[in-house]
Amino acid sequence: MSQTITITKEDILHEVQLSCKIPEMIEEIIKRKIVLSSAAEAGIKVTKEELQQASDQMRVMSQLKDAQDTWVWLEKYGLSLDDFEEIVYSTLISQKLSNHLFADKIEPYFYEHQLDYIGAVIYEIVLDDEDEAIEVYYEIKENEISFQEATQQYIKDTELRRKGGYRGKVNRIDLKPEVSAAVFAVTSPTILKPITTADGIYLVLVAEIIKPELDKRLRNKIMFDLYSQWLQQQAQQVQVVSHLEVSNQSA
């Protein structure tokens, strides 16, 4: 037996409250207001042509091939055409603001933090016993067994063992400090002496050291990181006045 259920705006707000997501939503509201006010102060504007181009790009990214697809998408998320335009405008003004604030800071930041972007292709084995790790290390060094053979004998994790201990391309931030310091202090290819950490003894094969290049991808990443840090700092300095009414009832 089918039934009709009416959902109001109050129901949606109540569900948001029950989901305990209001702090996150308030933070996003604060950030959006900061972006709009900062862009206005900087005299940043969006032209009709830019807005139209960004709207077309968003439709392509959302796989909205025609007007019917767009209407279905808007209905799914409870949006109007004005709401859609506001989303596009907010995204575009945010991009222009980040470019205004940090476009000329990307290269200096990159060269100052270049070591953070160096990559390494590594394979690893993690053992529990230091004596065993030392023994395996010398067996590999003296060609009694290969590193790949050692991974099959000593790696407990099934997926990592199937990959022969392959961790792929990693950066400093991806590794424990003790491991990172050793990995990026050598030339490749080489196997490192056992590295003791709180989680075990690491045997690491450094297959390749990859020097960073300031390409488009890395430029975008640095821009995003700088902008996100700035926006977070701005949000932390804001005093929030909320008119959201929350009733507390005692049982």
Task: Report pLDDT digits (tens) over 21-74.
Answer: 888 999 999 999 999 999 999 999 999 999 999 999 999 999 999 999 999 999
Q: Which domain holds residue 139?
A: 119-210
In a domain, 19, yes or no: yes
In a domain, 65, yes or no: yes
pLDDT digit string, tens, across residues 125-144: 999 999 999 999 999 999 99
Q: Is 46 in contact with 91 (CB distance < 8 Å)?
A: no
pLDDT digit string, tens, across residues 180-219: 999 999 988 999 999 999 989 999 999 999 999 999 999 9
Residue 189 and residue 228 in one domain:
no
Residue 128 and residue 165 in one domain:
yes
Task: Please choose, from the candidates 182, 206, 186, the residue with its C-alpha nearest in 3D space to the C-alpha of residue 123.
Answer: 206
Residue 132 and residue 102 in one domain:
no
In a domain, 80, yes or no: yes
Mean model confidence pLDDT for the chain: 91
Residue 161 and residue 102 in one domain:
no
Q: Is 155 in contact with 125 (CB distance < 8 Å)?
A: yes
Residue 71 and residue 20 in one domain:
yes
Is the pLDDT at 249 greater than 50, yes or no? Answer: no
Residue 25 and residue 101 in one domain:
yes
Q: Give Cα separations from 28 to 32, 90, 162, 197 (angstroms).
A: 6, 12, 42, 39
CATH number at residue 160: 3.10.50.40
pLDDT at 251: 43
Confidence of residue 12 (pLDDT cuts 50, 70, 90): confident
In a domain, 34, yes or no: yes
**b/e per residue 187-197 (b: at least 16 CB within 10 A):** eeeebbebbee
Residue 14 and residue 91 in one domain:
yes
Residue 191 β-bridge partners: 205
pLDDT digit string, tens, across residues 82-118: 999 999 999 999 999 999 999 999 999 999 998 889 9
Residue 88 and residue 36 in one domain:
yes
Residue 224 and residue 102 in one domain:
yes
In a domain, 1, yes or no: no
Residue 102 and residue 17 in one domain:
yes
Domain count, the chain: 2
In a domain, 41, yes or no: yes
Residue 199 and residue 226 in one domain:
no
Q: Enter the pTM of the model.
A: 0.74
Is the pLDDT at 18 greater than 60, yes or no? Answer: yes
Confidence of residue 240 (pLDDT cuts 50, 70, 90): confident
Residue 96 and residue 184 in one domain:
no
pLDDT at 133: 95
In a domain, 100, yes or no: yes
In a domain, 3, yes or no: no
